[in-house]
């Protein structure tokens, strides 16, 4: 298995996003970022404000790394398809915010992206399993959404184990992502629980060499 690494630009320099994307794109031998994670926050669903569609459109033109847009916003039913139309590879909405998540997944796919569903640390998985049949990815939050640099909440790994089991037994076909507090100390536990794609913000962009940090995180999973 190739562990996917998705650096979060939340911890990057927002004045140099093109260069920051290039810093994790690798040397062409497959050691670069698999996806670039873009945290969209609206200061309503979460108590923080980041960036929106115009920045995603510009980033899409500035890098070949597939964009993984994580929408921490109210009313994703209205706004999320625009990110798919802008060329994002995966668009993730929060289960807690979506009004009609099944219809939303269909709209995202029709607009050309994968459909992702995210659950906060305190949100149980079970009520969402049926809805997840319509989705391509599940983003398990391992911190409260809103800010980078928080500590990993290990209790969420129970949800990862459950969804991994559902995928491995053929009951679901989602890619399992984890987001929050992933670094060299926490990534192994997440990998053992069955994560496919690891989002890392401060562990990548807080490092002296972000490109090397991506390769190091992936290698630590392979060991």
Name which of 75 and 144 has its Cβ closer to Zn ion. 144
**Nearest-angstrom CA–CA distance, 183 and 152:** 9
> Which of 70, 94, 159, 218: binder of Zn ion (CB under 5 A)?
70
Angle between helices 76-85 and 53-62 (to 10 degrees): 20
Could you say whether residue 210 binds ligand DX5 (CB under 6 A)?
A: no
CB of 70 to Zn ion, least distance (A): 4
- CA 167 from centroid of its chain's CA atoms: 18
CB of 33 to ligand DX5, least distance (A): 13
Could you say whether residue 218 binds ligand DX5 (CB under 6 A)?
A: no
Could you say whether residue 42 binds Zn ion (CB under 5 A)?
A: no
Q: Which of 46, 44, 24, 42 is nearest to 34 (CA)?
A: 24
Classify 190 as helix, strand or coil.
helix
Which of the residues 128 through 147 are near ligand DX5 (CB under 6 A)? Answer: 143, 145-147
Binding-site residues for a divalent metal cation sit at 37, 39, 70, 179
Q: Which of 49, 28, 27 is nearest to 40 (CA)?
A: 49
**Residue 39 annotated as catalytic:** yes
Structure tokens of 30?
């497959």
Could you say whether residue 89 binds Zn ion (CB under 5 A)?
A: no
Which of the residues 94 through 113 are near ligand DX5 (CB under 6 A)? Answer: none
Reading across the β-sheet that carries 90-94, which strands appear in turn?
4-7, 197-200, 175-179, 137-141, 114-119, 90-94, 67-72, 36-41
> Which of 149, 155, 188, 209: binder of ligand DX5 (CB under 6 A)?
149
Which range binds Zn ion by CB under 5 A, 18-26, 155-163, 175-183, 213-221?
175-183
Which of the residues 68 through 87 are near ligand DX5 (CB under 6 A)? Answer: 70
**Nearest-angstrom CA–CA distance, 122 and 159:** 11
Could you say whether residue 39 binds Zn ion (CB under 5 A)?
A: yes
**Residue 179 annotated as catalytic:** yes
**Nearest-angstrom CA–CA distance, 162 and 133:** 15
Partners of 179 in beta bridges: 141, 199
> Which of 86, 182, 187, 197: binder of ligand DX5 (CB under 6 A)?
182
Give the pairing of strands 4-7 and 197-200: parallel
What is the contact surface with ligand DX5 in residues (CB under 6 A)? 8, 10-11, 37, 39, 70, 143, 145-150, 179-182, 199-203
Active site residues: 39, 179
What is the contact surface with Zn ion in residues (CB under 5 A)? 39, 70, 179
């Amino acid at each position: 298995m190739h562990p996917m690494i998705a650096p979060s630009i939340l911890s990057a320099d927002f004045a140099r996003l093109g260069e920051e994307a290039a810093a994790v794109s690798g040397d062409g031998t497959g050691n670069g970022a698999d996806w670039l994670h873009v945290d969209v926050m609206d200061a309503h669903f979460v108590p923080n404000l980041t960036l929106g569609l115009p920045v995603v459109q510009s980033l899409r033109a500035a890098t070949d790394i597939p964009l993984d847009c994580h929408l921490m916003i109210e009313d994703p039913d209205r706004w999320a398809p625009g990110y798919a139309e802008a060329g994002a590879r995966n668009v993730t909405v929060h289960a807690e915010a979506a009004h009609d998540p099944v219809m939303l997944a269909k709209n995202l796919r029709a607009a050309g992206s994968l459909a992702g569903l995210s659950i906060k640390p305190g949100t149980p998985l079970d009520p969402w399993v049926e809805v997840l049949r319509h989705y391509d990815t599940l983003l398990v939050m391992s911190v409260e959404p809103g800010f980078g640099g928080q500590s990993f909440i290990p209790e969420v790994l129970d949800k990862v184990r459950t969804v991994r089991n559902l995928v491995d037994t053929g009951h679901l076909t989602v890619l399992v992502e984890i987001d929050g507090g992933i670094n060299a100390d926490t990534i192994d536990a997440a990998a053992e629980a069955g994560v496919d794609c690891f989002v890392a913000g401060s562990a990548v962009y807080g490092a002296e060499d972000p490109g090397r940090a991506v390769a190091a995180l992936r290698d630590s999973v392979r060991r």
